[in-house]
Amino acid sequence: MKRLLVAWLLGMALASSAAAEPEWTVVETGRAGFHWSFSLKVNPERIPPGGVIANESRWSEPPSSGTAIWYFAGTDGRTAHIFVIFQEFSKPAARIVEIERRPILVTLDQEDTASLTLFPLHAKSVTVKLKRNPDQTISVSLPSQ
Protein backbone atom coordinates (compact mmCIF):
# COMPACT_ATOMS: atom_id res chain seq x y z
CA MET A 1 0.00 0.00 0.00
CA LYS A 2 2.88 2.36 0.82
CA ARG A 3 4.46 1.79 -2.58
CA LEU A 4 1.19 2.48 -4.33
CA LEU A 5 0.75 5.75 -2.41
CA VAL A 6 4.32 6.85 -3.15
CA ALA A 7 4.00 5.99 -6.84
CA TRP A 8 0.70 7.86 -7.03
CA LEU A 9 2.13 10.97 -5.30
CA LEU A 10 5.19 11.02 -7.55
CA GLY A 11 3.04 10.47 -10.61
CA MET A 12 0.71 13.32 -9.66
CA ALA A 13 3.61 15.69 -9.00
CA LEU A 14 5.23 14.92 -12.33
CA ALA A 15 1.99 14.67 -14.32
CA SER A 16 0.68 18.05 -13.22
CA SER A 17 3.72 19.87 -14.59
CA ALA A 18 4.03 17.64 -17.66
CA ALA A 19 0.37 17.41 -18.70
CA ALA A 20 0.79 19.69 -21.73
CA GLU A 21 4.35 18.61 -22.55
CA PRO A 22 5.40 16.09 -25.17
CA GLU A 23 7.05 12.77 -24.36
CA TRP A 24 10.47 13.35 -22.81
CA THR A 25 13.55 11.60 -24.20
CA VAL A 26 14.49 8.65 -21.99
CA VAL A 27 18.23 8.48 -21.36
CA GLU A 28 18.21 5.50 -18.99
CA THR A 29 15.80 3.43 -16.92
CA GLY A 30 16.54 0.54 -14.66
CA ARG A 31 16.15 -1.37 -11.44
CA ALA A 32 18.67 -1.68 -8.67
CA GLY A 33 18.09 -4.52 -6.34
CA PHE A 34 14.64 -5.76 -5.47
CA HIS A 35 13.13 -2.61 -3.99
CA TRP A 36 13.58 0.35 -6.33
CA SER A 37 13.70 1.55 -9.92
CA PHE A 38 14.68 4.81 -11.63
CA SER A 39 14.44 6.74 -14.88
CA LEU A 40 16.47 9.64 -16.30
CA LYS A 41 14.76 11.79 -18.94
CA VAL A 42 15.60 15.03 -20.78
CA ASN A 43 13.22 17.66 -22.13
CA PRO A 44 13.03 17.58 -25.97
CA GLU A 45 11.37 21.02 -26.30
CA ARG A 46 12.80 24.53 -26.19
CA ILE A 47 13.11 25.32 -22.50
CA PRO A 48 12.25 28.84 -21.31
CA PRO A 49 13.69 30.28 -18.10
CA GLY A 50 11.84 28.49 -15.33
CA GLY A 51 11.76 25.19 -17.24
CA VAL A 52 13.18 21.76 -16.51
CA ILE A 53 16.13 20.44 -18.54
CA ALA A 54 16.18 16.90 -17.15
CA ASN A 55 14.63 14.79 -14.43
CA GLU A 56 15.69 11.64 -12.59
CA SER A 57 12.82 9.90 -10.79
CA ARG A 58 13.31 7.05 -8.37
CA TRP A 59 10.70 4.83 -6.78
CA SER A 60 11.22 2.86 -3.61
CA GLU A 61 10.21 2.79 0.02
CA PRO A 62 10.23 6.29 1.57
CA PRO A 63 12.47 8.21 2.04
CA SER A 64 14.34 6.87 -0.98
CA SER A 65 11.58 7.88 -3.41
CA GLY A 66 12.18 11.24 -4.99
CA THR A 67 13.58 13.19 -7.88
CA ALA A 68 16.61 15.14 -9.03
CA ILE A 69 15.62 18.00 -11.34
CA TRP A 70 17.95 20.12 -13.49
CA TYR A 71 16.16 23.49 -13.61
CA PHE A 72 17.02 26.30 -16.08
CA ALA A 73 16.78 29.65 -14.29
CA GLY A 74 17.87 31.82 -17.26
CA THR A 75 20.95 33.46 -18.73
CA ASP A 76 22.99 36.50 -17.84
CA GLY A 77 25.29 37.47 -20.68
CA ARG A 78 27.21 34.32 -21.57
CA THR A 79 26.35 32.49 -18.34
CA ALA A 80 23.48 30.01 -18.07
CA HIS A 81 22.11 29.65 -14.54
CA ILE A 82 20.98 26.12 -13.72
CA PHE A 83 20.04 24.44 -10.46
CA VAL A 84 20.00 20.77 -9.60
CA ILE A 85 17.18 20.30 -7.10
CA PHE A 86 16.91 17.16 -4.98
CA GLN A 87 13.46 16.24 -3.69
CA GLU A 88 12.33 13.29 -1.60
CA PHE A 89 9.06 11.90 -0.33
CA SER A 90 8.60 12.94 3.30
CA LYS A 91 6.61 10.38 5.23
CA PRO A 92 5.78 12.77 8.12
CA ALA A 93 4.67 15.53 5.72
CA ALA A 94 3.04 13.02 3.31
CA ARG A 95 4.38 14.96 0.33
CA ILE A 96 7.46 15.58 -1.77
CA VAL A 97 9.80 18.16 -0.22
CA GLU A 98 12.93 19.86 -1.52
CA ILE A 99 15.97 18.72 0.43
CA GLU A 100 18.78 20.47 -1.44
CA ARG A 101 19.35 22.95 -4.27
CA ARG A 102 22.77 23.35 -5.88
CA PRO A 103 23.56 26.16 -8.34
CA ILE A 104 25.39 25.41 -11.58
CA LEU A 105 26.89 28.20 -13.72
CA VAL A 106 27.64 27.20 -17.32
CA THR A 107 29.59 29.48 -19.68
CA LEU A 108 28.22 29.62 -23.23
CA ASP A 109 30.75 29.74 -26.07
CA GLN A 110 30.70 32.09 -29.10
CA GLU A 111 28.01 29.90 -30.77
CA ASP A 112 25.84 30.11 -27.62
CA THR A 113 26.41 26.43 -26.81
CA ALA A 114 27.77 24.60 -23.78
CA SER A 115 28.04 21.10 -22.40
CA LEU A 116 26.41 20.09 -19.14
CA THR A 117 27.16 16.79 -17.42
CA LEU A 118 24.26 15.39 -15.43
CA PHE A 119 25.23 13.32 -12.40
CA PRO A 120 22.05 11.48 -11.38
CA LEU A 121 21.92 9.64 -8.09
CA HIS A 122 21.32 6.23 -9.66
CA ALA A 123 21.66 6.41 -13.46
CA LYS A 124 24.93 6.76 -15.35
CA SER A 125 26.20 10.29 -15.85
CA VAL A 126 25.49 11.81 -19.26
CA THR A 127 26.73 14.97 -20.97
CA VAL A 128 24.10 16.99 -22.84
CA LYS A 129 24.64 19.89 -25.22
CA LEU A 130 22.85 23.14 -24.43
CA LYS A 131 22.12 25.70 -27.15
CA ARG A 132 20.75 29.18 -26.40
CA ASN A 133 18.13 30.23 -28.93
CA PRO A 134 17.45 33.84 -30.04
CA ASP A 135 14.28 33.92 -27.87
CA GLN A 136 16.43 33.17 -24.75
CA THR A 137 15.17 29.60 -24.48
CA ILE A 138 17.62 26.72 -24.54
CA SER A 139 17.53 23.48 -26.50
CA VAL A 140 18.99 20.25 -25.16
CA SER A 141 20.48 17.54 -27.34
CA LEU A 142 22.06 14.22 -26.50
CA PRO A 143 25.36 13.17 -28.03
CA SER A 144 25.11 10.42 -30.62
CA GLN A 145 25.82 7.03 -29.11
Residue-wise pLDDT tens digits, 47-90: 999 999 999 887 776 556 788 899 999 999 999 999 999 888 77
What is the average per-residue pLDDT within 35-40? Answer: 78
Q: What share of the chain is helix, strand, coil (3-state, %, to 5)?
A: 10, 55, 35
Read off the pLDDT of residues 19-33 as tens digits, 9 standing for 90 and up: 555 788 888 778 766
Note the pLDDT of residue 14. 53
Domain chopping of the chain, boundaries: 2-141
The Cα–Cα gap between 97 and 83 comes to 16
Read off the pLDDT of residues 107-137 as tens digits, 9 standing for 90 and up: 999 999 999 999 887 778 899 999 999 999 9
The three-class DSSP label of residue 63 is coil
CA-based nearest residue to 123, from 29, 54, 36 = 29
This prediction has a pTM of 0.74
Task: Read off the amino acid at residue 141.
Answer: S
